[in-house]
A = this chain, B = another copy of it.
């Protein structure tokens, strides 16, 4: 992720949901300053995740981490994200992927997460993978507020609520988060039943 609060903003409910089901969740983010790094750790704690602070977000540091962790799933930004830092983080993960996948078989699946108000440079986010986070929405909100130096109450909080309600409405629930599968060497995630 590009910024210390991106994990909470775009995927916090989903990470908390997976953590609750016993999945090991690790959040990798570029180190910023001591204040924001501490906020990232606090937020990750609330989600039930471990933070990995990378000195720099490069294809090498990301590849090293993936080789070490061998994750089943990686969540990053999409290349169509309108925020340049998100775009660059996505490109960095994509650059690290092929070698790691060929050598370790991991990750099995990669997803790009939602962006500001469901908008990318190419238009609106196409909803493909929508996760019901009604059960972990309170946890997501709490983790988001751990980023005290950021304008959560005025800016990111209401945006996150709007989006969670929109995606929730699209699957007939209260709150949800949305993801887009990213092909890995030409492979997409399978669905197990309709």
A residues at B contact (CB < 8 Å): 14, 17-18, 21, 23, 73, 75, 79-80, 82-85, 87, 91, 94-95, 97-98, 109, 111, 115-132, 158-159, 162-163, 165-166, 169-173, 176, 179, 182-194
Given contacts A124-B118, A159-B186, A187-B171, contact A194 B109 (CB under 8 A): yes
Pairs A–B under 8 Å by Cβ, sample size 22: A18-B193, A21-B193, A23-B193, A75-B194, A80-B122, A83-B185, A115-B186, A117-B169, A117-B183, A117-B187, A120-B183, A124-B127, A131-B191, A131-B192, A159-B186, A162-B169, A163-B166, A170-B186, A170-B187, A171-B190, A172-B190, A179-B194
User: Is B129 within 8 A of A191, CB to CB?
Assistant: yes
Shortest beta-carbon distance, A96 to chain B, in Å?
Answer: 9
CA distance A84 to B111 in the complex (A): 16
CA distance A95 to B91 in the complex (A): 14
CA distance A127 to B119 in the complex (A): 9
Shortest beta-carbon distance, A115 to chain B, in Å?
Answer: 7
CA distance A194 to B94 in the complex (A): 18
Give every chain B residue within 8 A of A94 (Cβ-Cβ): 82, 84, 87
Give every chain B residue within 8 A of A191 (Cβ-Cβ): 129-131
